[in-house]
Amino acid sequence: MTNNNSVERQPHYLVGVIAFGLLVVAILGYLLVLPRTIRRDAGSLAHGDGELVFDGNQAGDILSEGEGLLTVEYVHVIDNGEGRWPPHGPYGSIHVIVYRPEQSPQAPWLPELELYETMLYGPHQTIGDLFEWLDDETLTYINYALYDWNEHEYDRVTLCFYESDPGWGRAHDDLLAGIVSRQETEERPVILRSDAMEVRLRTRNLDSVP
C-alpha cells in the first residue's frame, strides 16, 4: 500500500532544499562583494608633505621626489584582465615592474633583471589599501614616478604593466610592455599602447613640497 503522506511531502522537501541552497548562494555572494566597497570620484593622485597621497590617503612606497624620475602622466586601462564577477572580478590590481634594458618586452620575464616594482593606483579603493581598476577607466597623475634613472646607470629600461592574480593555479595577466629611454622621455612625453592599456610617460625633476 502506497504512503500518500510521503508522496505529498516530497515536493515540499525539494522546495525547502532549493530555497536553502539559494540562501547559501546569496550569502556567499554578498560576502564576496561586500569587502570591495567602491569609492567613486576619488580624484587624481597628488603630491604633498613629501609623500605621494591619493584622495587624502598616503599611497605608500612610491618615488615622488628627486631629479631624473620617470613619471606616469596618465593611464587608460582598456581591459584590466579580470572577469566581470567575483571572486576574480571585476576589479584588477595593476602593478609596474621596471627591468634592466636587456629584458625583452615579451615573456618570459626574468626576475634577476628586475630593478623596481610598484603598484599603479587606480580609482577604486577595494580591500585595505588596494586601489584597483575596472575596464575602460582613465586617471591622470601628478608627480607619480615609477623609476629613478639615477638609481642605476641605464639609459633605457623595459617596463611591464600587469594585473596581479595571486593564488594557486592562477597566473598574472600581462597588459602592456615596452622599452623607454631616458633621453627620449626627457625631450617629450612617450606613449606606450596595447589592446589592454595606454600610458603616457615623461622624465621630470620633482621637488619636495613643504
DSSP characters for 120-160?
---SEE-STT-EEB-SSEEEEBSS-EEEETTTTT-SEEEEE
Residuewise pLDDT in 10s, the chain (210 residues): 545 554 454 566 666 767 666 665 554 443 333 333 333 333 445 444 344 544 444 555 566 678 899 999 889 999 998 888 777 789 999 999 999 999 999 989 999 999 999 888 888 878 877 888 999 999 888 878 889 999 888 999 999 999 987 766 667 899 999 999 999 999 999 999 999 999 999 999 877 543
Instruction: Answer yes or no: are the C-beta atoms of 133 and 123 closer than 8 Å.
Output: yes
> C-alpha cell of 52?
605621494
Specify the pLDDT at position 26: 53
Instruction: Answer yes or no: are the C-beta atoms of 161 and 197 closer than 8 Å.
Output: yes
pTM, two decimal places? 0.72
Instruction: Answer yes or no: are the C-beta atoms of 209 and 46 closer than 8 Å.
Output: no
Specify the pLDDT at position 24: 57
> C-alpha cell of 87?
571572486
DSSP state of 36: S
Specify the pLDDT at position 25: 53
From the number of C-beta atoms within 10 Å of its C-beta (0-12, 13-18, 19+), residue 160 rates as buried
CA distance 152 to 84: 40
Please report, for residues 50, 114, 193, the alpha-carbon distance to residue 179 in angstroms, rounded to integers and kept in the order given: 29, 14, 12
CA distance 70 to 186: 9
Residue 181 β-bridge partners: 156
Instruction: Answer yes or no: are the C-beta atoms of 98 and 157 closer than 8 Å.
Output: yes
Residues in the chain: 210
